[in-house]
Amino acid sequence: MLIKKIKELREYLQPYKADNETIGLVPTMGALHAGHLSLIKTAKSMCDRVVVSVFVNPIQFGPNEDYTKYPRTLDEDYKLCTQNGVDAVFSPSPAEMYGEGFILSNNNLTYVCPPFNYTDKLCGKSRVGHFDGVCTVVNKLFNIAQPDFAFFGEKDAQQLIIIKKMVKDLNIPVEIIGCPLIREESGLALSSRNKYLSDDGKREALVLYKILQNIKKCYKQGITDVAALKETAFTFLNNNVELEYLEIYDADTLDELTKANDNSRAFIACKVEDVRLIDNIKLGE
Ligand code: AMP
């Protein structure tokens, strides 16, 4: 079932909630791929009803980012969702979510702002305000669907940590389930933005995973010094890959470390063919 209005989603879910059925929410921006489908599969295994939201959230994009060109493939997304047993696809318009004319007056919106020490690093550093936009829309989706469980991918590990923090700090009655990062056979992390890459670009983009795998290998061989682990990346970089960040932080708190341990995660962001790609790996697994 395709639902575009907030009121309709509430009306649709109400009888299931009255019957004490568990509701799972999988928030997405669409252009669905196997990474999203793995979240849906986990949601199906844990919940009586599964709602997938497909919403390209304007307030999480910076002024020079790809909001207008972000792939929008609702017909295909809807088909994939029904084939995979999703009960409802919720795809509101920006006006439905934020009110008519919000673009002109988005300084007139109540935002949910996660703490600075979670957002002043990694993607938050270059994407100022991004996680305010993410937390605001996810909070709204939680208020609209009131799910028992919500599913997020470790692909966006900083986002997952920040959402967990928001839910804890604001006592939101939902359980956040983190799901493993899904890769192409080549090792490239699946992402809706991979659609922007040429075949050559996709090959170049493998550098991200190679760097992460090598860091993990070095860690397993006994190197724990974070600076030394980060140094190992430079042999992989070339002119086609622009490194934005490479960091090793605590996987739960994003605290900085001088020595890596089994609970550390390496995070990387690079631009390939002007497409911003992110990836991460847990060192201890
Ligand atoms: P997006 O549509 O990019 O906003 O992603 C929606 C959800 O799918 C987020 O929780 C992402 O972390 C998750 N996701 C995206 N790509 C992957 C992937 N390759 N593996 C696992 N989860 C993913």
From atom 10 of ligand 1, which residue's Cα is the shortest distance away? 152
Query: Does ligand 1 have an atom closer than 6 angstroms to the CB of 138?
Result: no
- The residue to mutate among 156, 167, 186, having the most atoms of ligand 1 within 8 angstroms of its beta carbon, is 156
Q: What is the band of 108 on the pLDDT scale with cuts at 50, 70, 90?
A: confident
Quote the pLDDT of residue 100: 84
CA of 257 to the centre of ligand 1 (A): 26
Quote the pLDDT of residue 105: 59
Q: How far is CA 185 from the centre of its chain?
A: 20
Query: Does ligand 1 have an atom closer than 6 angstroms to the CB of 181?
Result: yes
Q: Measured from the CA of 152, which atom of ligand 1 is nearest?
A: 10
Strand 149-153 relative to strand 49-54: parallel, antiparallel, unpaired?
unpaired
Indicate the DSSP class of residue 125: H
Q: Which amino acid is at 12?
A: Y
- Range in 76-85, 103-112, 231-240 with the lowest mean pLDDT: 103-112
- Domains of the chain, by residue range, sit at 2-179, 192-282
Q: Which of 23, 36, 60, 133 is catalytic?
A: 36
Angle at 110 between CA 68 and CA 174, to 5 degrees: 90
Residue 190 pLDDT exceeds 90: yes
Model pLDDT for residues 77-99, shown as the tens digit of each residue:
999 999 999 999 999 999 999 99
Phi and psi at residue 103, in whole multiples of 5°?
Answer: -60, -35
Quote the pLDDT of residue 104: 54
Q: Per CATH, which fold does 2-179 belong to?
A: Rossmann fold (3.40.50)
Q: Which residues contact 79 (CB under 8 A, 6 or more apart)?
A: none
For domain 192-282, give the CATH superfamily: Pantoate-beta-alanine ligase, C-terminal domain (3.30.1300.10)
Q: Measured from the CA of 31, which atom of ligand 1 is nearest?
A: 2
Query: Does ligand 1 have an atom closer than 6 angstroms to the CB of 182?
Result: yes
Span 141-152, average pLDDT:
98
Residue 36 appears among annotated catalytic residues: yes
Q: What average pLDDT is seen over the chain?
A: 96
From atom 14 of ligand 1, which residue's Cα is the shortest distance away? 153
Q: What is the C-alpha to C-alpha distance for residues 148 and 171, in angstroms, rounded to an integer? A: 13
CA of 179 to the centre of ligand 1 (A): 9
Instruction: Spell out where 116-212 has E strands.
Output: 149-153, 175-179
Residue 256 pLDDT exceeds 70: yes
Span 262-282, average pLDDT:
98
CA of 36 to the centre of ligand 1 (A): 5
Q: What is the band of 107 on the pLDDT scale with cuts at 50, 70, 90?
A: confident
SS3 sequence of 60-74: HCCCCCCCCCCCCCH
Query: Does ligand 1 have an atom closer than 6 angstroms to the CB of 133?
Result: no
